[in-house]
Amino acid sequence: MDNQDEVLQAWLHKLMTAFEIADIEVDAHAVLNLAGVAAHSIVRPAAPLTTFVAGLAAGLAAGSGQASESAAMAAALGMAKKLAAAEAVAESAPRAAGEQAE
C-alpha cells in the first residue's frame, strides 16, 4: 500500500470486519477531522476519547432506532466537534484577574 489513505481504509475494513459491522458506512475523514479538532482544541489525548464517545453515542442512537446509522454518526460527530471547538474558544478567552479555568 502506497499511501496513508489506502492504509487507513484497509485498517478500517479489517476492524469493521472483525467487529462484524462491515456493512456500516464510516466516513473516516470525518472521524479523523473530529480527532484533529479535539487534539488541538483540548489536549492530544482527547482525540481518541472524543472519537470513541462520539462513536458510542452514534451506535446507541442507531441501535435504539432514534436515528439511521448515517444520521446518528453525523449528529454525534457534529456535536462532538462543536463541543471541542467551543472548548478551544473558552480556553482562549481572556479571564478576569484571579479567575481559573475549569
Share of the chain above pLDDT 90, in %: 83
What is the pLDDT at residue 2? 65
Measured between alpha carbons, how far is residue 67 from residues 34, 38, 70, 78, 81 in Å? 20, 24, 8, 14, 19
What is the pLDDT at residue 88? 83
Q: How many residues does the chain have?
A: 102
User: Residue 1: is its pLDDT beyond 60?
Assistant: no
What is the pLDDT at residue 91? 73
Q: Are 75 and 61 in contact (CB under 8 A)?
A: yes
pLDDT tens per residue across span 4-38:
999 999 999 999 999 999 999 999 999 999 999 99
